[in-house]
Chains A and B, each alone.
Chain A
Amino acid sequence: MTQSTTPSSAAPAATELPEEALALIGVKKTRRVLVTVRDIKRFAQAIGERNPVHYDEEYARCSRHGTIVAPPLFCQSLTFDDVSPSELAPDGSPVELNVPIPAQRAMGGGSEYVIHRLVRAGETLTVTSQLKSLYTKQGKNGLLYFIVVETAFTDERGDAVATENATYIKRV
C-alpha cells in the first residue's frame, strides 16, 4: 500500500508524499526488553483483565501455561520506544510517528495483530519496528495521511512471538 511519488522540481501536489518520508520506509530499529511479572500485572490492570493467570504465580503454576503469561496483546506495551520527551513531537505522539509529512494531528486507525504464543514473565524479547507504508486518502475535511508501522517481537531463540501492523492517521 506504499504510494510512490513522481519526482518533480515543481511544488508537490497535495497527495504527493515527500521523498524524505518515503525514504524512511523499511528502515528497521531494534531494541531488547526484559518482561517482568510487574509489567504483565500492570498491563492486565490497565486493560481491565482479571484472570489470575496474569498476576498470581501459584494459580499460574497450576494452569496449562505453568507460569505467569501476559494478555494476548501485551506486546503493545513494548511497541513505543522510550525516548526522551525532547525527542517527541510537540503533541507527545510516539516517536514511531515522526515522519516528515505535512500533517500534525495524529490518531489511531487500526491494527492487524498476529499472536504466535503468549509472552511469559522473565523472558527477553527483541522488538523490531519499521515504517511499513505511507499513503494518503481524501477525507471529508482534507487529506489524510496513513502511517503503517510494523512491529515484530521475537524471543531469545529468534522465534516469532507476535507481529503488529498498526495504522495511524495524521491530519493537517
Chain B
Amino acid sequence: MTPTTQIPELEITPDAMQIFMFSAVTWNRHHIHYSKDAALAEGHQDIVVQRALIGNFLARLLTDWLGDSGEIRELSWKVVHSALPGKKLRCQGVVTGESRLGSRRILSCDLKIVGAEQQTIATGAARVELPGID
C-alpha cells in the first residue's frame, strides 16, 4: 500500500429492501426513501438511496481493502447524483499519500462512486490508519 495504490473496486447494486432496511436502522422516515409516488413528486426518478448509506458503501470499499488490520479515521463524501434501486454502483478509490503519526501509518485516499451510466454518484476522501512496522 504505497501512494497511487488502486483500491480494489467494489460493486454494489442497492435494492428497495436495502433502502428500507437502512431507513429502519437509522429511523429515517423521510418519504423519498420508501414512497415512489412521493419521490417522483419531488423530482426524483425513483425512491432514493440515503446519503448515509452512500457513505457506508465507501466505508465498505475501504474495510474490504483494509481487512482487520486497518481502520478508517476520517471519511467525507458528497452526493452528486441520486443513487436509485436496481442500478449498479462501482465504488472506487486510490491512495494519494502517506504520512506517519508516531509508529502508525496514515494513508490519504480519494474515493468515487460511479453509476451505471458512468455518471459520478458521489465523490469522497478518507484517511485510514494502518499499524506501523516498528
Residues in A lying within 8 Å of B, measured CB to CB: 39, 42-43, 45-49, 51, 53, 63-64, 71-73, 76-77, 79-80, 82, 85, 88, 91-94, 105-115, 118, 166-168
Chain B residue total in the interface (Cβ 8 A): 40
* Interface positions of B from 16 to 33, Cβ below 8 Å from A: 18, 21-22, 24-32
Q: Which of B21, B52, B68, B71 contacts A73 (CB 8 A)?
A: B52
B102 within 8 A of A: no
Mark B residues whose CB is within 8 Å of A.
12, 18, 21-22, 24-32, 38, 42-43, 48, 50-57, 59-60, 62-63, 68, 71-79, 82
Within 8 Å CB of B79, what residues of A?
107-110
Given contacts A111-B51, A115-B73, contact A42 B25 (CB under 8 A): yes
In the bound complex, CA of A58 to CA of B92 (Å):
32
Cross-interface CB contact of B52 among A93, A111, A112, cutoff 8 Å = A111
A-B contact count (CB 8 A): 117
Chain A to chain B contacts (Cβ below 8 Å), 28 pairs: A46-B22, A46-B24, A47-B60, A49-B60, A63-B68, A71-B63, A72-B59, A72-B72, A72-B75, A73-B56, A76-B55, A77-B27, A79-B52, A82-B27, A91-B31, A92-B30, A93-B29, A93-B30, A94-B29, A108-B51, A108-B79, A110-B51, A110-B77, A110-B78, A111-B75, A112-B74, A114-B74, A168-B51
Q: Determine the distance from Cα of A162 to Cα of B53 in the docked complex, in whole angstroms.
A: 17
Return chain A residues, CB-CB under 8 Å to B73. Answer: 114-115
Task: List chain A residues, Cβ under 8 A from B54.
Answer: 108
In the complex, the answer to whether A106 meets B30 with C-beta atoms within 8 Å is yes
Task: Point out the residue from A51, A80, A111, A118 that lies within 8 Å of B27, measured CB to CB.
Answer: A80
Contacts A76-B26, A92-B30, A111-B52 given; indicate if A118 touches B68 (C-beta within 8 A).
Answer: no
Question: For residue B43, which residues in chain A have a CB less than 8 angstroms away from its CB?
Answer: 105
Q: In the complex, are the beta carbons of A72 and B63 less than 8 A apart?
A: yes
Which residues of the partner chain B approach A82 to less than 8 Å between Cβ atoms? 27
Task: Determine the distance from Cα of A63 to Cα of B67 in the docked complex, in whole angstroms.
Answer: 12
Partner of B18, one of A46, A85, A92, A166: A46
A109:B78 contact, CB within 8 angstroms: yes
